[in-house]
Structure 1
Amino acid sequence: MKKGKIGYGSAVDWLRGGEMTWRRAYPGRFDQVKVVRDFAVYLFTGSGYEDKVSYIVSELATNAIRHTRSGEPGGWFGVDLAYADLAYLAVTDQGGRTVPTVRPEPTEGQMRDHGHGLRGVQNMAVALGIHGNPAFGHTVWADLSLTHNQATDQGIAQVLAS
């Protein structure tokens, strides 16, 4: 509570009173995508951004399992979540043969059944980034503004690689 203020107002005011962070590791199995999604949505309940958090966390976790050693027997992936005005949603994998990339929009007549997920994350986020390497693992992260609707600002998202 801020000095000189009496009461919190709403639950959202209280939640936004400071950054809260969580970190968890999950077995690298597809049944864990629902588990991590439910956990993230629960933590962001009342923010008004539950659907975006659900999509972003699900997409990042699914990619970790599908495209890296995290999805192999005994594999795991980690999730970092920070609830603040600029929320941080990240998934760390165990690396693999490729580097996560945002694929370009399909041209007319070109259909893809998959490969659109990170572009969807990019469209929702203020920033999307990757750090790490195929040998040791990657962390793919998205910053999501909880105070501003990015959907109204086409092209605001930046893809960052570090």
Structure 2
Amino acid sequence: MERKNWSLCSAGQWLWDAEPMRWRRVFSGRADQVRSARTFATQLFAGTSREDDVAVVVTELATNAVRHSRSGAQRGWFGLEVTLADIAYVAVTDQGGGCVPSVQADRSDGEPWVSGRGLLMVSKLALATGVYGSPYLGYTVWADIDLRADAKGDPTREVSMVS
């Protein structure tokens, strides 16, 4: 493995080296831990101009894990994985037992966001979203967030979940 001479580069070059930075963390499957997961991820994205988007994504994915899977049961847990690169990866893994996570259709009747529309909101903030797993082994729901773009996700853009 080649050792680089970091004294010849800037702090930004060191921070954004070719290897993506990756974190995994496990949280207790309780509602109060959703806030902890959101804070953890938001701090990792500080200075990217996408902190608020990441906060929404993590909040929605972690809340779904706690509410709709065995992760919310006694001694349950959910996992958060974050990879920082030009296209960042944010994923939450649950313990299964619930329904298959899916994006609900957009409401055209002007109603405000209601339960069941969180993954739609995530899909509009992300470059791509998806889900893999099973009700027996657990699901991982993920979102790719483009850190090269300063603007928030386009709320009129249609994105579908992939498996």
TM-score (norm 1): 0.87
Query: Is the contact made by 2:30 and 2:72 (CA closer than 8 Å) also made in structure 1?
Result: yes
Query: Is the contact made by 1:150 and 1:156 (CA closer than 8 Å) also made in structure 2?
Result: no
Query: Is the contact made by 2:125 and 2:154 (CA closer than 8 Å) also made in structure 1?
Result: no
Does 2:83 match 1:73?
no
Aligned residue number for residue 9 of structure 2: 7
Instruction: State the alpha-carbon separation in 2 of the partners of residues 153 and 71 from structure 1.
Output: 30
State how 1:1-162 maps to structure 2 within 5 Å: 6-8=8-10, 11=12, 13-17=13-17, 18-108=19-109, 113-148=114-149, 149=151, 151-152=153-154, 154-155=156-157, 157-161=159-163
Q: Give the gaps of 5 or more residues in structure 2.
A: none
User: Once the two structures are aligned, what percentage of the paired residues are identical?
Assistant: 43
Cα distance, 1:109 vs. partner?
6.5
Aligned length: 159
Query: Is the contact made by 2:124 and 2:153 (CA closer than 8 Å) also made in structure 1?
Result: yes
Runs of 4+ in 1 over 4 A off after TM superposition: 109-112
Change (3 A) 1:25 1:103: same
Query: Is the contact made by 2:124 and 2:155 (CA closer than 8 Å) also made in structure 1?
Result: no
Deviations 1:46-68 (CA, angstroms, capped at 9, x unpaired): 11111011110111000000000
- 3-state SS in 1 of match to 2:66: helix
Q: In the alignment, residue 15 of structure 2 is paired with which amino acid?
A: L
Instruction: State the alpha-carbon separation in 2 of the partners of residues 120 and 152 from structure 1.
Output: 10
Change (3 A) 1:152 1:26: closer
Query: Is the contact made by 1:94 and 1:136 (CA closer than 8 Å) also made in structure 2?
Result: yes
Instruction: State the alpha-carbon separation in 1 of the partners of residues 50 and 14 from structure 2.
Output: 16
Cα distance, 1:156 vs. partner?
6.2
Q: In the alignment, residue 123 of structure 2 is paired with which amino acid?
A: Q
Q: Give the gaps of 5 or more residues in structure 1.
A: none
With 103-112 and 41-50 compared, the bigger mean Cα shift is at 103-112
Query: Is the contact made by 1:126 and 1:156 (CA closer than 8 Å) also made in structure 2?
Result: no
Query: Is the contact made by 1:79 and 1:89 (CA closer than 8 Å) also made in structure 2?
Result: yes
Q: In the alignment, residue 130 of structure 1 is paired with which amino acid?
A: V
